[in-house]
Amino acid sequence: MDFSQLKQKVYLHFIFKIIIYIELFEKSELFLYYKFLEEILNLYDILDKPLVEKGQNEEHFNICNSFPWLKGDNEGEYKKFCKKLLNNLLLLSNSNYGDGNFFKYCDVLYMWMYFEIKEKGIPNDITKQIFDETPQMINVTLSKTPCPYLNFNENYHEPKKLMKLRIFEYNTSTFVNTLKDIKSLNNCSCLKYIYECINIYKEMHSKYCLGGRNLNPTNKDTCDILHNFNINYSNYIHNKYGSTYDLPSLSGDIPIPHIIGCPLDEKDQGLSSNNDNQSDNSIFLYVPKVLGTMAGVSSLLALLYKVMQIFIKIYAKYCIIMNKIYLHNKSSL
């Protein structure tokens, strides 16, 4: 491989890393500004914590070292992912969730999996095999049922949009309780989320489900999520609060640009720049814990800081590698 080929290979690797971190930034955006969803945001934060291999599930991690299909060039990354996924499956199975929360908590796991798989480049078949191998161990160890297999990287169109609809589906009661209090601080952020879901539904339903397209096997899973959103929104939100908040039905196909009664450019109704009674940190009221915090810096600024640091590190590595390649090529002349 000559210098130009090496340069192109390293450059493509650099671009790939940037794409991955853009995906991670979108993950953070998915959870922005929704304080009323704090329960699932905190759970996501727990699932996303670094693995402690010497923790309470240490004895179970050996199963990941014995799987023959985890061999290969990325064996270390595959085994690390296996242990983290197993740890999270055990964590959820060991939690005292009721039947009503089971799928809600599992869904947070599926969202974590989606971004972890995208970041680490984990093949879908490896994820499926881990799920296939672990239920018996969880049943025997905890006498509980583990989360069933679901992978947003498989058979789903535009998964990040579908995740928003799934969050609504399994947290409908939270949305209902928030809308009950028309003066709630979370009211506009709740409505904003609902309106985003409505626009997602209209766009994706038209694209994948109308005109018999829902019968296409590649569209079925996507249309099922859209159908569930339709039922939950129509029955529990539109029928009860449609007149109170002037909420639209799902039958129209015109996008909704703005929420009536909420500020146009702010994320919630409490963020007026003319309100001198609010603290300097109030503009970040709805940034959840999943974005992380830094001492003396708001969560949103912390996110931007971390993203900048990541890009700087990637570019620095790229420059170091290119310099080594250049020096090696020069010395061989």
Same domain, 244 and 316: no
- Domain contains 122: yes
Residues 6+ apart with CB under 8 A from 237: 172, 175, 176, 179, 194, 247
Q: Catalogue the long-range contacts made by 326-331 (C-beta closer than 8 Å, 24 or more residues apart).
A: 326/3, 329/3
Give this prediction's pTM: 0.71
Same domain, 126 and 222: no
Q: In 3-state terms, what secondary structure has residue 305? A: helix
- Domain contains 50: yes
- Domain contains 272: no
Same domain, 41 and 24: no
- Domain contains 97: yes
Question: Whole-angstrom Cα distance, residue 223 to residue 214?
Answer: 6
Q: What are phi and psi of 297, to 5 degrees?
A: -130, 140
Q: What is the DSSP string of 257-287?
A: ---TTS-SSSSSTT--TT-TTS-GGGGGTT-
Same domain, 145 and 77: yes
Q: What is the DSSP string of 160-226?
A: HHHHHHHHHHHTHHHHHHHHH-TT-TTHHHHHHHHHHHHHHHHHHHHHHTGGGGGGSHHHHHHHHHH
Same domain, 23 and 88: no
Out of 234, 266, 298, a domain closes at 266
Same domain, 318 and 291: yes
Domain containing 204: what range? 158-266
At 104, list the tokens: 């809600």
- Domain contains 120: yes
- Domain contains 95: yes
Same domain, 240 and 300: no
Out of 127, 154, 181, a domain closes at 154
Residue 263 exposed, middle or buried by CB count within 10 Å (0-12, 13-18, 19+): middle
Same domain, 9 and 45: no
Same domain, 172 and 240: yes
Q: Given the structure tokens 């242990």, which residue do they identify?
A: 83
Out of 104, 124, 154, a domain closes at 154
Give pLDDT tens digits along the chain (333 positions). 555 655 555 555 555 555 555 555 555 555 556 778 888 888 888 999 888 777 666 777 878 888 877 777 788 888 899 989 988 988 887 776 656 688 889 999 999 999 999 888 898 888 998 888 877 777 766 667 788 899 999 999 999 999 999 999 999 999 999 999 888 778 888 998 999 999 999 999 999 999 999 999 999 999 999 999 999 999 999 999 999 888 999 987 666 666 766 775 444 444 333 444 433 332 222 233 333 333 333 444 455 555 555 666 666 666 666 666 666 666 666
Question: Whole-angstrom Cα distance, residue 123 to residue 121?
Answer: 6
- Domain contains 227: yes
- Provide the domain count of the chain: 3
Same domain, 170 and 247: yes
The distance in angstroms from the start CA to the end CA of the chain is: 15
Furthest-apart CA atoms within the chain: distance in Å: 78
- Domain contains 174: yes
